[in-house]
Amino acid sequence: MFCKVSLITVLAAFVSSAVSEDIEFKLFAYSKKLSSSGLQLFYGDGQAYVGGAPSFVKESVNISLVMTEGDDKFVAKADTTAASTLDWSPEPTMYVDVTEGIASPIGFTKDNATLSSNATTVGFGLYGGWAFHKPDEADIEMKFLATPTNETGIYLVKWNAATTTASDDIAISLRTQAPVALDDK
């Protein structure tokens, strides 16, 4: 009996410690209307881009994200090369502006005090590898858009709280699944 109880205790401790660890992941944009599916999410001057960061941004970083436990935030982690040259303390947290009727860029903030009253850093999550936002007392929402920049294959990522979109906006899904490389055989 003692051996069974000890084994169960050890397994429970292992499972709870494995679940509570922060897991880094990358997000990739998918849509048939993008120049290429599976475009990776990047940080550029405090905003989210897919396909790279445009040349006009001053601070461009390849990032991974970590979902924090309890408050459901996506915190950006700079790749190791960029982290040595940037001041990422504290690390930026992703936010969306949920103001009804607008589509606004998804951003990153180090200081929540600089956010508008309708912007939020909480409520993010993953459902089977699909990124979502869930406002309090509401359904899961996946209202991501990609708006082309003036550089080919690079898009600004927006949150669509509007009922309509601009003609050049593309509805996208953000997933943790990296694109599959196809052989040319």
pLDDT above 90 covers a percentage of the chain that reads 60
pLDDT at position 27 is 98
More confident position, 47 or 7: 47
pLDDT above 70 coverage of the chain, percent: 82
Q: Note the pLDDT of residue 8.
A: 41
Helix ranges, 21-160 (H): 80-83
Helix (H, G, I), strand (E, B) or coil at 150: coil
Answer whether residue 111 shows pLDDT above 50. yes
Distance of CA 143 to the CA centre of its chain: 13
Residue 83: φ, ψ to 5° = -60, -30
Q: pLDDT of 131-158, one tens digit each?
A: 999 988 789 999 999 999 999 999 999 9
**Predicted pLDDT at 18:** 40
Domain edges within the chain: 22-175
**What's the pLDDT band for 182 if we cut at 50, 70, 90?**
low
Fold annotation for 22-175: Trefoil (Acidic Fibroblast Growth Factor, subunit A) (2.80.10)
What average pLDDT does the structure give for the chain? 84
Q: In angstroms, what CA-CA distances link 125 with 21, 53, 68, 83, 152?
A: 15, 24, 9, 25, 30
CA distances from 131 to 80, 134, 169 (A): 24, 10, 19
Q: What is the pLDDT of residue 86?
A: 67
Measured in whole angstroms, the distance separating CA 112 from the mean position of its chain's CA atoms is 17
Q: Which tens digit of pLDDT belongs to each residue from 13-40?
A: 333 334 445 789 999 999 999 988 899 9
Which among 109, 137, 135, 113 is positioned nearest to 123, based on CA atoms? Answer: 135
Q: What is the pLDDT of residue 98?
A: 92
3-state secondary structure 16-78: HHHHHCCCEECCEEECCCCCCCCEEEEEECCEEEECCCCCCCCCEEEEEEEECCCCCCEEEEE
Bigger pLDDT: 2 or 166? 166
CA 61 to chain centre: 13
Give the pLDDT score at 104.
94
The pLDDT of residue 4: 47
